Chain A
Amino acid sequence: MRLHLPCPHCGADVVFRSPALPNRVCDACHTMLVRSDDGVAQLGIAAALPFDVSPVRIGMRGTADGGGFEVIGRVRWSWSDGAWNEWLLLFDDASTAWLGEAMGQFMLLREHPFSEVRSKTLRAIAKGEPAQIGHKVELFGRKLVLADAREALCITAEGELPFTAPSGWRVYNVDLRGSDGECASLQRDGSTVSFYHGRYVTLADLAPRGLRAIEGWSLPGYAG
């Protein structure tokens, strides 16, 4: 159920679309808010997003896996060798997915319970062991390779999110890649492990509408 509330910090109207997404950054004052039965709590101010030329923005719509979605949130992460965006997609059936954007490429990932993952290697990483890049892992009957592993630092966030994403939050992030564009990602935060699985996509694959307009660049032919 969609819930409209005034921001406890600035009074602007804030929208919580789903109880599954209790976290929200106020669009007006960037206060991080958490909704609970007791009301809306404030968790400080989110850092300003650094300037970028990402073609995705909150409010962009598109289709994937046969369903329509809207971009409703974003977390920006960095590591020693750069930064990337994770956009939260809310589908018409209320499911969510992440659109990872790094180096001009996009990954569409959905969260899977880590209990479904049988791989001994990934289980060991979840328990705190470092990932060995290049190791092969069998996942849902297919071979993937440990492509990258790094400590990631949350820079900031905007919009609605399933978790709080404070600046300075550190997680251990492992990326896996298959031969046909398949990919997966494991995030370890202390003893908490999240697991995401999906594939590389292009923006054109998502038939996007409401792409961000960028000065001096004409919208692409695939924009709806």
Chain B
Amino acid sequence: MQAEAPLSPPPAPAIRALACPNCGGTVELRAAGYTVHVGCQYCGSILDATDGLVKLVTQAQTALAYPEIPLGTRGTLFDVEWEAIGYLQRSQNGAYRWDEYLLFNPYHGYRWLVNARGGWSFGTMLTRVPTMQTFSTYALDGQSYTRFFRGDAQVDRVVGEFYWRVTVGETVKTGDWVRPGFMLSREANDREISWTINQWLPERDVVAAFGVTPAARVWPPLPHQPSPWGAWLGKGAKIGGIALAFLLLVSLLLSGTRWLASEALPVAVDGREQSATIGPVHLVSRWQRVRVRTTVPRLENGWVDLDYSLVDRRNQQVYAASGAAERYEGVDSDGPWTEGSRDSDVSIAGVPAGDYDLIVEYKGNRWSQNDTAYPDGGWMEPTNAPQIVVELGTGTLYAGNFLLALLLIAFPWFVGLMLHLRFEKARKEQSDFAPAASGDGDD
């Protein structure tokens, strides 16, 4: 018994050459069997090439088209090799010109490579029909597309081969719906309606695949061009949020004060200036914030002036700070009142490691020598043994550090947000359905 079909026949040739009946030039057919019309690259005539029978359809167009991607060029997009076999120059009634290349791979069929204002898209004809969702949106595969353009598209110039009868001047009604990265396009004539999904392509992909010359920035953006800031903003918000949450946690955990020394100092009742030295205090971190808190337990209608000098034992470097604790109270027509507080809390930032003495200079005051409000004579009476309690500690972080980090992280994000909004505004202003108030793009 012989084999019914040879297992590996020699590969079929891929190209068939035709002679143009108008100019005699050799026209190469790269999708034989599918191709219906061919635009001759030498004279611009349109030929019918269905099943190899070549007939002249229209003789020499007035102007020849010279596609930027020469027909026959191959390039890889989405891991498939494509050959550019046809080129159409189209426009909306002569305005808003754009270019369409018909791509072919015998194992993957046809695709479109569209160039509008320098931006590129990859089109796939749909075999299913999008469903209308609302008067302004269509749905396909669970994604929603918002209307953007509507109009007419006509064919101005033709070179290469096509799977339908292409004619210069043929017009279809078009409608476009978009979501970031994708455009859903409908073309309708009196015979049929066809839908294509166009995927926006970064220019570098087309440069790498077909060697096109990079164009200037596409501005305003294409209707379905994804904002270059969109993904970045989302990612930035996420990463920034995590970073801030982490910082917040760290500063909460570490920002507590570690108290190193505490001393009660008597206050002279005659109100003279006094001085005391607390120390030595050993600071271990390379840099730290030193916090000095002084509490006056019995302060009433008076104040204590406080001057601190933190002196490095090694080189007598002085870190100075001052503060005051003051508190008043009384009774008026609204009832009893108090003002101020019994403690003073100051910080000295950026103190290097070392052994330090804290010199405290302080002076007790009272508002009225003969205050009758206090049966025992007020807080500075000797019988009340007036004193202050000075505590010294170190803290690692300021809330200010956190705020600074917040600003540093959020600032570039806000810049990105502004750029994103500007991009989206320029993009949407191109729409036929943009709010009437919109003027031309700002560029």
- Chain A residues within CB distance 8 Å of chain B: 4, 13, 15, 50-55, 57-59, 76, 78, 81-83, 85, 102-105, 133, 145, 147-148, 155, 177-181, 183, 200, 203, 210-221, 223
Q: Give bound CA distance, A191 to B16, whole Å.
A: 40
Cβ–Cβ contact B106 & A53, under 8 A: yes
Given A51-B32, A52-B32, A82-B164, 7 more pairs with CB closer than 8 A: A52-B33, A53-B32, A54-B33, A59-B6, A104-B104, A178-B129, A215-B15
Q: Give bound CA distance, A103 to B102, whole Å.
A: 12
Partner of B81, one of A102, A181, A217: A217
Q: Give bound CA distance, A104 to B51, whole Å.
A: 15
Instruction: Tell me how far the C-beta of A168 lies from the nearest C-beta in chain B, rounded to whole angstroms.
Output: 14
- Closest residue of chain A to B7 (Cβ to Cβ) is A210
Cβ–Cβ contact B164 & A58, under 8 A: no
Partner of A15, one of B4, B6, B106: B4
Cβ–Cβ contact B4 & A52, under 8 A: no
Number of A-B contacts (CB under 8 A): 127
- Closest residue of chain A to B190 (Cβ to Cβ) is A133
Cβ–Cβ contact A59 & B163, under 8 A: no
The total of chain B residues at the interface (CB under 8 A) is: 45
Partner of B106, one of A55, A103, A147, A179: A55
**Given A51-B16, A55-B106, A59-B5, A214:B11 Cβ within 8 A:** yes
Q: Give bound CA distance, A152 to B272, whole Å.
A: 118
**Given A81-B164, A82-B164, A214-B11, A180:B128 Cβ within 8 A:** yes
State whether the Cβ of B341 lies closer than 8 Å to any Cβ in chain A. Answer: no
State whether the Cβ of B125 lies closer than 8 Å to any Cβ in chain A. Answer: yes
Cβ–Cβ contact A215 & B5, under 8 A: no
**Given A104-B110, A133-B192, A216-B14, A82:B163 Cβ within 8 A:** yes
List residues of chain A with CB within 8 A of the CB of B13.
51, 214-215
- Chain B residues within CB distance 8 Å of chain A: 1-2, 4-16, 30-34, 36, 50-52, 79-81, 104-110, 125, 127-131, 163-165, 191-192
Cβ–Cβ contact A105 & B125, under 8 A: yes
Partner of A211, one of B7, B107, B125: B107
- Closest residue of chain B to A71 (Cβ to Cβ) is B5
Cβ–Cβ contact A179 & B129, under 8 A: yes
List residues of chain A with CB within 8 A of the CB of B192.
133, 147-148
Partner of B12, one of A102, A147, A181, A212: A212
List residues of chain A with CB within 8 A of the CB of B106.
53-55, 214, 217
Cβ–Cβ contact A103 & B163, under 8 A: yes
A-B pairs with the 3 shortest C-beta distances?
A52-B33, A104-B109, A59-B5
Q: Give bound CA distance, A66 to B50, whole Å.
A: 36
List residues of chain B with CB within 8 A of the CB of A215.
11-15
Q: Is the interface of A mostly helix, strand, loop or mixed?
A: loop
Partner of B131, one of A15, A76, A179, A183: A179
Question: 27 A-B pairs, CB-CB below 8 angstroms?
Answer: A50-B33, A52-B51, A53-B30, A53-B32, A54-B33, A55-B106, A59-B4, A59-B5, A59-B6, A78-B50, A81-B164, A103-B34, A103-B125, A103-B163, A104-B108, A145-B129, A179-B128, A179-B130, A180-B128, A181-B128, A200-B127, A212-B9, A213-B11, A214-B106, A215-B13, A215-B14, A216-B15
Instruction: Tell me how far the C-beta of B51 lies from the nearest C-beta in chain A, rounded to whole angstroms.
Output: 4
Q: Give bound CA distance, A186 to B148, whole Å.
A: 37
List residues of chain B with CB within 8 A of the CB of A148.
191-192
Q: Give bound CA distance, A215 to B106, whole Å.
A: 11
List residues of chain B with CB within 8 A of the CB of A183.
127
Cβ–Cβ contact B52 & A50, under 8 A: yes
List residues of chain A with CB within 8 A of the CB of B108.
104, 203, 220
Cβ–Cβ contact B36 & A220, under 8 A: no
Instruction: Tell me how far the C-beta of B194 lies from the nearest C-beta in chain A, rounded to whole angstroms.
Output: 9
**Given A15-B4, A59-B5, A147-B192, A203:B107 Cβ within 8 A:** yes
Cβ–Cβ contact B51 & A78, under 8 A: yes
- Closest residue of chain B to A82 (Cβ to Cβ) is B36
List residues of chain B with CB within 8 A of the CB of A211.
107
List residues of chain A with CB within 8 A of the CB of B107.
55, 203, 211, 214, 217, 219-220, 223
Instruction: Tell me how far the C-beta of A202 lies from the nearest C-beta in chain B, rounded to whole angstroms.
Output: 8
List residues of chain B with CB within 8 A of the CB of A83.
33, 36, 50-51
Q: Give bound CA distance, A86 to B12, whole Å.
A: 19
List residues of chain A with CB within 8 A of the CB of B79.
221
Q: Give bound CA distance, A208 to B33, whole Å.
A: 20
Q: Give bound CA distance, A219 to B108, whole Å.
A: 10
Cβ–Cβ contact A105 & B33, under 8 A: no
Instruction: Tell me how far the C-beta of B64 lies from the nearest C-beta in chain A, rounded to whole angstroms.
Output: 25
List residues of chain A with CB within 8 A of the CB of B16.
51
- Closest residue of chain B to A211 (Cβ to Cβ) is B107
List residues of chain B with CB within 8 A of the CB of A51.
13, 16, 32-33, 52
Cβ–Cβ contact A82 & B128, under 8 A: no
List residues of chain B with CB within 8 A of the CB of A177.
127, 129
Cβ–Cβ contact A214 & B14, under 8 A: yes
Cβ–Cβ contact B33 & A53, under 8 A: yes
Cβ–Cβ contact A82 & B5, under 8 A: no
Instruction: Tell me how far the C-beta of A91 lies from the nearest C-beta in chain B, rounded to whole angstroms.
Output: 17
Q: Give bound CA distance, A216 to B110, whole Å.
A: 17
Cβ–Cβ contact A217 & B34, under 8 A: no
Q: Give bound CA distance, A211 to B108, whole Å.
A: 12
Q: Give bound CA distance, A83 to B165, whole Å.
A: 12
Q: Give bound CA distance, A148 to B189, whole Å.
A: 12
